Structure 1
Amino acid sequence: MAKTYTQLIPSIDRRLSTWLSMVERSRSMEKPAASPTVTISRQYGCEGFALAEKLKKIFEERTGEEWNIYDKSLLKKVSEEEELSIRLLEGLGGPTELLDSLPVTLLNRIPHSRLYRRVMEHLIGIAKLGRAIIIGRGGAVITQALPNCYHFRLEAGFEFRAASMARRLGLSIADAEAHVRENEEAREKFFSKNLNVSTADHSFFDAIYNNERHSVAEIASSIFAYVMQDWQTKEGCR
């Protein structure tokens, strides 16, 4: 039986609970310690969630701190629930303060949609909070100016991505190919309309990985090493 895409992602409720507890702990501290945030962009069909879960495991094992994974499903749920959304935003300084970190050029391009503006506020708050792995939603573009953020992208050939989706969703190759093409087009339109950038622009990323040539475990180990080495250098300069 074919699966839906939402069946492939980690539990939203569990990740929301972790998010809430991280915000509450941050509020209880006089001066919370700064922590890194990782954003993951990917061509549709690449193993973004598998990479995020592997990264979360490595960071938690090596640092002894709790990390969390954020994606469009979690952000949309929170942004649509007014009381919960305000609670999380106020715990991080409030929406106005959060949007102040965006470059003017990006602020001018934000759609008038209240929901999308709220999603962006949450993305910035999450990134500033740290110990976050943000998948998609223009995370690399929106958080580009934040010094604690590291940006990575997964790419692979079309056949690999179609085969990957066929395997994970239980689709025929023909259906998987159509699914990948449709979602690639939708993703490109989203970036062009909401952020005025192209998914082909690699200037936002610290590194780009070929998901077809390297396993999720190899990529996760490489990202962890890069982030921790650079973070320790930054901490030493403070």
Structure 2
Amino acid sequence: MGVITISRQFGCAANEIAAKVAEALGYEVVDKELLAHVAAEAQASEEEVAKYDEASLSPIERFLRALVKFATPEEALTWSPGPLKETPFWLPTREQWQREGGKVLDHEECLKFTQMALKKLAQKGRVIIIGRGGMVVLKDFPGALHVRLFAPLDWRVKRLSQLENIPPEKAKQKIIAEDKRRAEYLRHFYGVDWNDPSLYHMVLNVAALGIDLTAQIIVSAAKELQSSVLSSGCGVQEGGAEP
């Protein structure tokens, strides 16, 4: 049991913060790269998949891989792995996909897979989900803590410029473009403004709080929320379904 979703502006150290929270709570982190990796494996042959060492995968990777391969009959009514053979999960632009010789994207199929995966992960519990509209998909999930991370643009520009060793102007352009892409994703698929504070339990300024304190606040809030859910008896058992 226990789910945390993190929505973040680009350059807010979300992955670093999530890693600290996960270590403190014994959770695992799921981000778009991991989900994309699992989705990509859905189009591999059994021989190719057999080349991977299953024992080297994290529990979350094994769970998601099984989810892709063994959907229940109910889920099969709304989603099947077939479209993933033609559609990459990470949603490149139509132009990028066509340049690489692919077919026109079916974004709706990608969205169905994302939603199914997030809900299954939430039922499994003990996960931190970064991005992908988790705060919308799991808005009514018992015990889910929804967090928004932000920081002033100049702080993010300085940090990204140092991390990637790129000029500040290039870092600024990258941040603005990525923020726009994320905002448009949520607006297009879910009809929400990612800056709407009502979508979250907490909105934290990483620049003002610092990375360590931000992580500590999330850990404390998650513990308190889980304690409240358990005492009220309205939680979801790990690996089970909502009552």
Q: Same fold (TM over 0.5)?
A: yes
> 2:65 & 2:142 partners in 1: Cα distance?
25
**Residues 136 and 233 from structure 1, CA distance in 2 versus in 1: closer, same or farther, beyond 3 angstroms?**
same
Aligned length: 187
Distance 1:88 1:237, change over 3 A: same
Q: Which residue of 2 aligns with 1:15?
A: none
Question: Structure 1: where are the runs of 5+ without partners?
Answer: 1-34, 61-66, 100-110
**Rg: which structure is higher?**
2
Change (3 A) 1:195 1:160: same
Q: Could you tell me how far apart the structure 1 residues matched to 2:34 and 2:123 are?
A: 17
Q: Kindly indicate whether structure 1 or structure 2 has the higher relative contact order, using CA contacts under 8 Å at least 6 residues apart.
A: 2
1:105-144 to structure 2, matched below 5 A, reads 113-144=108-139
In 2, Cα distance between equivalents of 1:49 and 1:186: 18
Residue 235 (structure 1) shift: 1.1
In structure 1, what residue type is equivalent to 2:150? E
Which whole-Å deviations, capped at 9, do the CAs of 1:83-134 have from their partners, x for residues lacking one? 786722577866639x8xxxxxxxxxxx863222112211111112111011
Native 8 Å contact 1:80 1:115 kept in 2: no
Which residue number in structure 2 is paired with residue 59 of structure 1? 25
* % same residue: 23
Q: 1:94/1:183 Cα in 2 relative to 1: closer, same or farther (>3 Å)?
A: farther
Match of residue 140, structure 2, among 145, 158, 161: 145
Aligned runs of 1:5-154 on 2, under 5 Å?
Answer: 35-60=1-26, 67-82=27-42, 87-88=66-67, 96=75, 113-154=108-149
Contact 1:92 1:129 in 2 (8 A): no
Q: Give runs of ≥4 in structure 1 deviating > 6 Å.
A: none
Q: Match of 2:151?
A: 156
Deviation at 1:201, TM superposition (A): 1.2
RMSD: 2.4
Residues 140-171 of structure 1 show CA distances to partners (whole Å, capped at 9, x for unaligned) of: 11111111311001111110111111111111
1:164-208 superposed Cα distances (whole Å, 9 cap, x missing partner): 111111111111011111111111211111111111111110111
Q: Which runs of 5+ in 2 are unaligned?
A: 44-48, 50-63, 79-105, 234-243
